[in-house]
Chain A
Amino acid sequence: QSVLTQPPSASGPPGQTVTISCSGGSSNIGTNTVDWYQQLPGTAPKLLICSNNQRPSGVPDRFSGSKSGTSASLAISGLQSDDEADYYCAAWDDSLDGILFGGGTKLTVL
C-alpha cells in the first residue's frame, strides 16, 4: 500500500537503545531504498540515514538503519537528551511516482 506507518511515539531512558519501525508495501519499501530524517524542535529536517543503512558524514554511529522486505527500522543506541526529536522514514513510491513520508515518531528521552 502507498502508506508508510510509524508509531506516533517512542521513549527510553538515557543510555538505552530505542528502535523505531516503518512499515510500507511492495511499491515503496519493497522496491526502493529507505531514508530517515531527524527534526529537532523548531528546526528543519536533517538527513540521518540514507539508502537503508548509510550514515551521512557527521551522523554518529549510535544511529543505524536496516530494511527487510517491506519494513525498515531505525535504531538509536546510547540515548541522549539531544536525541529528543521527531523522526521520519521516507521512500520513493512507484505507484504514486513520488516520495512518501511516514507520519513521524516523536522520541522522548525519559
Chain B
Amino acid sequence: EVQLVESGGGLVQPGGSLRLSCSASGFTFSSFWMSWVRQAPGKGLEWVASIDQHGSHKKFVDSVKGRFTISRDNTKNSLSLDMNSLRAEDTAIYYCAKNIQGGYIFYFDHWGQGTLVTVSS
C-alpha cells in the first residue's frame, strides 16, 4: 500500500524559512516523479513543484521560483521542500503527491494527508 507522510509544517514569521519532508513507502520511490501541491484555507488546489526520478529535473510554479527548492533522497525514500522568504500567501496545507508521468500524461495518483504551513507574525 502506497503511503505518503508529510511533516515539518508549522507557524513561521513572514520572511522566515521552513523545510517540509515527505516519507514514502509501498512503492519503488526512485522510479517516480514526485510533487508538492498546496491548498490555501478555503481555496482550491495549486501545484507548487515537481522533481524527476533522479532529482535532475525540477519544475516550479512561478510564484515560488527562487524561494522554494525541491529535492529528494532515493536512499531514504524521502522528498523535501525547502521554503525561504515565506509570505502570508504561502499559508496553506502542503500535500506530497506521487506522479504518473509520460508523454502527454502527468497526474497525481497518490496523495499524503498534508501538513499545514502558517505564515504570520
Residues of A within 8 A of B (CB): 31-33, 35, 37, 39, 43-47, 50-51, 56, 86, 88, 90, 92, 96-104
Contact = CB atoms under 8 A, between A and B. Distances in A.
B98 to A, nearest CB: 10
A37 B112 contact: no
Contacts of B46: 101
Chain B contact residues: helix, strand, loop or mixed: strand
B95 A50 contact: no
Interface residues on B, range: 20 to 34
A101 B45 contact: yes
B100 to A, nearest CB: 7
Interface of B: 35, 37, 44-47, 50, 59-62, 95, 100, 104-114
B104 A32 contact: yes
Nearest to A93: B47
Given A45-B111, A50-B109, A97 B59 contact: yes
Contact of B62 (A31, A45, A96): A96
Contacts of A92: 104, 106
A45 B106 contact: no
B105 A46 contact: no
By CB atoms of chain B within 10 A, which of A37, A39, A98, A100 has the most?
A98
